[in-house]
Chain A
């Protein structure tokens, strides 16, 4: 088999290069959102995705008045107050694990509207 000048190799090499280029382009514009737990929050000023267990009391209705609750580490005691507006998932309640995007402002985690997600209570298993 002739090794030089094989168009297949050329195409593969070019495509790999193109994909890498697009990839670098993309990651330079966007990049990922850090996903943290409340104890890791201090020192982060940008938008993060915060995950943890909901601690009551839960007040407000997320529409006229902000929904307020505390979020605690999944296995830990550090917690942070959260305010939220927007759709509240059906499964949201104290004790559930949730994830929400937002940023820390003066010690309170201000969530972006409509980013609250609850994890199904162990979908395929007994609790």
Chain B
């Protein structure tokens, strides 16, 4: 079986190389049939990669330990779902998944666009082929998932902290996002190579970018929820390099999604869009490099491996080649129109882009800081949480404000007087909310207060947009279905507001306390008092579960009980804290209780945290997904309109 997998990968490498080389030759010399054949090679590469993936999957499911990969990532006791998740649990499998997703995206993008934009696709195929060839090469020569050995009786199993349903969704979604950014990149480069620098490539890739961006966003929020519920330190994001690795391409893609609208509407920012798509793709490669090379210290310690230098080389080649290409085609990228006023829709999009990119680059600076300081000072330094929090506030709060302003400003040029009229309602709402919050005592944190006031302003302007639009269109369904991208976008904006409310609430207005308690003693946290009643030991299927029983009081009223504790796993000889979470929907806050240390005599060091509004973050995930689906939903009328606008002249 392993031979079949190896052979399939070699075939896949050959096909990808053919797609790259023959595709390049065909596009250069305008050989239509050869170009078609290169495109078909990409489709066939998907087939070959799928065969290889099926081989690995079946080996995982059958626990065939003669595969080194299977033996080191599963065991016979591992449930089926987690055996499957071992596909992306290790490096070789992740690379195979990358290649599979890449060829699938590539094949679909080629099939969907080869009729309507043959000249563009002819140049996109070699780009996709070259990227696929790199991954196939790694899988064939450097990190093969099909290495074999004499089968041991038992495999190494999967780390208990990964045996979690989130493991089934979080990594694959991130992969869908990372790899998905290849499609707009390949089309962008294809457009440059083909000298088609109009908006056709943006139309062809818009939904791909949106899809990848949605997957990346939802994947990250799932990861944050996983961390919050399972890791048990009461937080959800730690600015760890591996987390940042997913956030950076998402921010770059967010900037790209906004700036393409300017190019579509006004033909501006062509160079900028190319740079953004290069940045987004480069960062997704960099993220993979970061997690796989061990150059940066992270609490997520992945296996250090041999693919690091290959990746670094590939990133350098990709960035250098694509920047050279942009530079070479600069004369074709001159925009026909220019910014007419600093108070206009275009200008707000521009500010939004600058802030997003600035934020993205400061994170990149923070992630690379240990490497850079090592090079400059000969001693590695890290930047911590304060650095990132500072920039989150500095760039995040203006971004939040812009989200409310942008949609209400007119294209081209807006007069200040009309702006005053438009913003009367949202600004009024924001001021009222701000005053109310100060009265309620939210002034204890000024970033928090600013975030809430801005959030009210954005929500006010979104509601205003929906009201105005509905009045004009007749009904809200009419309105949304006629302009899915716009109104879906507003729903996504509302999700970002919820996210901001959740982050600000849980970080700026939270409280915590830790105390050593004997049974019968109590502690206070926020407006709660907690009484430690008793300790119990329960033997689970593969662990010993120790739980404290605590009564939760608010004033004199008993609200309920929580059971924080620890599990000791026998086989893995590992202890894991089981944080108790009590969600109070009425007060919109979570009470988290952690047992820091349990002494044999029953004394416990408790840590209790109150996290106001933290559930808004998860709610934001749902709304975000909903809004993205609206924007992604196929729209035949719009497709026809755009296709005819960018149709080729008669000769094609």
Point out residues on A near B: beta carbons under 8 Å: 1-2, 6-8, 11-12, 15, 19, 22-23, 26, 30-36, 40, 49, 51, 61-64, 87-88, 90-91, 97, 99, 117-127
Asked if B380 and A35 make an inter-chain contact with CB atoms under 8 angstroms apart, the answer reads: yes
Asked if B303 and A36 make an inter-chain contact with CB atoms under 8 angstroms apart, the answer reads: no
Task: State the CA gap A12–B275 with chains docked (Å).
Answer: 15
Contacts of A15 in B (CB 8 A): 351, 354, 358
Asked if B297 and A11 make an inter-chain contact with CB atoms under 8 angstroms apart, the answer reads: no
Task: State the CA gap A12–B272 with chains docked (Å).
Answer: 11
Chain B minimum-CB-distance residue to A33: B382
| A58 to B: closest C-beta gap in Å | 13
Asked if A125 and B297 make an inter-chain contact with CB atoms under 8 angstroms apart, the answer reads: no
Contacts of A122 in B (CB 8 A): 301-303
Task: State the CA gap A33–B381 with chains docked (Å).
Answer: 5
Determine if B334 is an interface residue (Cβ-Cβ < 8 Å): yes
Given contacts A120-B159, A124-B91, A124-B302, contact A7 B342 (CB under 8 A): yes
Task: State the CA gap A121–B91 with chains docked (Å).
Answer: 15
Contacts of A1 in B (CB 8 A): 334-335, 338
| B152 to A: closest C-beta gap in Å | 11
Task: State the CA gap A64–B603 with chains docked (Å).
Answer: 12
| B365 to A: closest C-beta gap in Å | 8
Task: State the CA gap A40–B303 with chains docked (Å).
Answer: 25
Asked if B379 and A34 make an inter-chain contact with CB atoms under 8 angstroms apart, the answer reads: yes
Sample of 13 A–B contacts (CB below 8 Å): A1-B335, A6-B338, A12-B350, A12-B354, A33-B381, A35-B380, A49-B382, A51-B297, A63-B516, A88-B596, A88-B597, A120-B300, A125-B72
Task: State the CA gap A61–B597 with chains docked (Å).
Answer: 8
The answer, among A31, A91, A124, for a CB contact under 8 Å with B303, is A124
Contacts of A125 in B (CB 8 A): 72, 90-91, 302-303
Tell me which residues from 325 to 347 in chain B have a Cβ below 8 Å from any Cβ of chain A: 334-335, 338-342, 347
Interface mask (B235-246 → A, CB under 8 Å = 1, otherwise 0): 000000000000
Task: State the CA gap A53–B298 with chains docked (Å).
Answer: 15
Chain B minimum-CB-distance residue to A5: B338
The answer, among A22, A32, A40, A64, for a CB contact under 8 Å with B383, is A32
Asked if B299 and A6 make an inter-chain contact with CB atoms under 8 angstroms apart, the answer reads: no
Task: State the CA gap A127–B574 with chains docked (Å).
Answer: 15
Count contacts on B: residues with CB < 8 A to the other chain. Answer: 59
Contacts of B596 in A (CB 8 A): 63, 87-88
| A95 to B: closest C-beta gap in Å | 12
Asked if B351 and A11 make an inter-chain contact with CB atoms under 8 angstroms apart, the answer reads: yes
Say which one of B102-110, B183-191, B386-394, B535-543 lies at the interface with A.
B386-394
Chain A minimum-CB-distance residue to B370: A35
Contacts of B298 in A (CB 8 A): 119
The answer, among A26, A61, A120, A126, for a CB contact under 8 Å with B72, is A126
Given contacts A91-B574, A126-B72, contact A11 B299 (CB under 8 A): no
Contacts of A99 in B (CB 8 A): 297, 299
The answer, among B301, B354, B362, B599, for a CB contact under 8 Å with A61, is B599
Contacts of A119 in B (CB 8 A): 298-299, 301
Chain A minimum-CB-distance residue to B86: A124
Contacts of A19 in B (CB 8 A): 358
| B303 to A: closest C-beta gap in Å | 3
Determine if B169 is an interface residue (Cβ-Cβ < 8 Å): no
4 A-B pairs with the lowest CB-CB distances in the bound complex, closest first: A125-B303, A32-B381, A126-B72, A119-B301
